[in-house]
Each structure stands twice: as C-alpha cells, then as structure tokens.
A and B are shown apart, each in its own frame.
Chain A
Amino acid sequence: MSNQKLPYRELETKIKEAEELIHALRTGQVDAIVGERQVTLVRLKQAEEDLKNSRDQLRALVANMLSVREDERALISRELHDEFGLALTSLHLGLSWISRKLTPEQQSLQEKVRSLSATTTSLIRSVKNIATDLRPGVLDELGLVKTLKSEAGEFERHTGIRCMFKTNAAQAKFDRLAAVAIFRIVQAALTNIARHAQASRAVIALMKRTKVLILTVTDDGKGITRNPIANHSSLGITGMRERALALGGTFAISGSRSKGTMLTVRIPLSRIIVGRNEGGATQT
C-alpha cells in the first residue's frame, strides 16, 4: 500500500518544491543559481533598483540644469535690456539731437547721421528681440495664458501657419517656474511644427481639469514618425519630456499621416497652480 503511494508522494513533493522555487524567483528572494559547474549570481532586482536610482538622479540633474539655464537666461535678458537697450536708446536720442542741429547745407553729415540712426534703431530692435527670446517679459508681466496667446499670434505672423490658442484657465495663477516650463514646451513644439510638420494649422490648448492641467499642441501636418520619438538625441523632445517630468507630469507625443502630430502634457494641478482661482475661458 505504502509502495503504491510513494510515486504520488514524490510527485507531490516535487510540485511543492517547484512552486516554492517559482515563488522565490518571482519575489526576488534568490541571489544565486547553483549549476553543476558554476554558480550564477542573480542581481536583476538590484540592477533594476540601481537603474531606477540612476534615472532619478539624472532627472533631478536635468531639472536643476533647466532651472539654472532659465535663471541665466533671465539674467542675460535683463542685462541686455538694461545695459545695451539704455545705451542704444541714448545713442539714438543723441543722433536725433545732432540731426536737428545740422544746417541744410551740411547734407553729407545729415545723411551719415540718418544712416547711423537707422542702424541704431535696427540694433535696438535686435536687442529687444534677443532679450524677449531669452526671457519673454510678458510671461512675468502678464502671465502664462496671455503669453501663450501672444506666442500663438507671433507664430502665425512669422510662419503663416494658422495658430489657435484655447484655454479654460484664463484666471488661474501659475507657479512661476511651472509657467516657464509650459511656455518652453509650447515654444519647442511650435518650433518643431514650423521646421518639420509641413502643417497649415496648429492648435494650442491649455485645459484645466479637476486634478490635472492638460496642455496639447496639435497640427494637421505630415505626422511625427517613430524615429524622432524614440531617438534620445532628439533634444527638443527630450527637453520637453524632462520639463514635464520635472513637474511630476507626463509627456506623450504621437503622429499619423492623416491626423498630424499631437503632443500632450499632463501636470498635477497641485504642482502648477498657485491659490484657488477658477475658470475663465479664452480663445483666439
């Protein structure tokens, strides 16, 4: 009787051992596999943790780098505006004063002053453009929503691509750094549209939901392909993703030939909204 039961018991024991082995492996409780000729260390779990830590550190480093870069841009922008802007304006005023003092007989001098004055005006415009590009003053003065509205208008004027901006967060007060991050994401997205999309129309939407702020930038162009999405050297996309992740958000981009490209950023409201202001729709 007991001899008949033996194979069944052995089988039962083997199954139990196999189940235990599977459980130990699944729960990461194994650190070596013993073979006939060698012992293999299992460090997969540790390797995964190391990789995650490494990614987290890298992400923190990138977030810090982006923040430092924004500060430096703001500083350079201020210096340009205050130092060069003021000096060039003085120069322009001085040239106007000289021009008024010249007599009609001093024709050649008048032409020279006029030419210098035109150059100075052009320089003032260039300095203003560079300073604005480095740090859009409107972002600090008027806030994110009006800046995005203005950016959409500028984009349309420069590229000829119809650009619409819509939002339901016109009254929301955004954290300064978060506002800069969103603005830079939109800037990068619009640059990509202008350079690569071959689009005739773009839409920027900044929509506030119960717990998240959703930014979408869509176009009706040829649609982004998989290569630039997966390519880590595609700095525009990497920069946008890192900015979104630094705010505890998510970043997604997809494209198809028939529908164009759609970029979506979701950021928790707790990380981006200051105070409790609600509502207010805007559309341009």
Chain B
Amino acid sequence: MKARKRGSRKHAKPDGQNYVFRLFVAGDESNSSQARGNLARLCEEHIKGRYKIETVDVLKDPSTAYENRVLVTPTLILLKPLPKVTVLGNLNDTKQVLAAFRLTLVEL
C-alpha cells in the first residue's frame, strides 16, 4: 500500500501534465491516423490524466516541422519529462513505444 502511494507520488505533478508529446502528422494519411489513435490509446491506458498532446499537421504547418528537424511523418517527440525522445512511425508497436518513453517498467 505504501509502495503504491510512493509510486503514484513519483509521477504526480501539480499541473497534471507530466508527459508532453508533440505529434507530427500529414493530414488524415493512413499512418498518421494510426499514430494519432495509438498515442491517444496508450496515454489513456498508461498515463491517464497526466499527459498533453500537441498535434502538428505538416500539410498545414510545414515550417514548425522543419524547425523541429522532423524529416518524416508520423513523428512523435516526447518533450517532457526530459530527455527528449523521438519515435517514428505509426506507433503500432506498443511495447517499443512504451519502452522508448521509459514507461515499461513503471507502468506495466
């Protein structure tokens, strides 16, 4: 019981936004749509209430993508907590994505 409380304090933040993601997509293209859906599902399942997702559509805003050195879509960048992590692709591989965001051991 105590351990669980400590664990929850470890990730709790006053503003409720421990994880900040920026997802670069290309409109409603197949991989982009999958990435959107997969990210929303993963966040709801593993860090519910503690995440924020900013979505950038490169078809409407290519300059932001270029400034962020995004080469392809979909690209997901974990901005917070640091260090920054970048994951490419449609995020279908749940285990890989969770591992990349250092969520595997804590949350699974």
Contact = CB atoms under 8 A, between A and B. Distances in A.
A250 B26 CA distance: 41
Interface of A, helix, strand, loop or mixed by DSSP: mixed
Interface residues of B, number: 22
Contact of A38 (B30, B32, B62, B92): B62
Given A24-B72, A31-B26, 20 more contacts: A17-B86, A20-B86, A21-B71, A21-B88, A24-B89, A29-B31, A29-B89, A29-B90, A30-B31, A30-B74, A31-B29, A31-B31, A31-B32, A33-B72, A34-B58, A34-B72, A35-B66, A39-B26, A41-B26, A42-B72
A39 B86 contact: no
Contacts of B58: 32, 34, 39
Contacts of B92: 29
B30 A30 contact: no
Interface of B: 24, 26, 29-32, 58-59, 62, 65-66, 70-74, 86-90, 92
Contacts of A27: 89
Given A32-B73, A34-B71, A41 B62 contact: no
A87 interface: no
Given A20-B88, A27-B89, A46-B30, A32 B72 contact: yes
A135 to B, nearest CB: 49
A30 B66 contact: no
Contacts of A28: 31
Contacts of B86: 17, 20
A141 interface: no
A36 B89 CA distance: 20
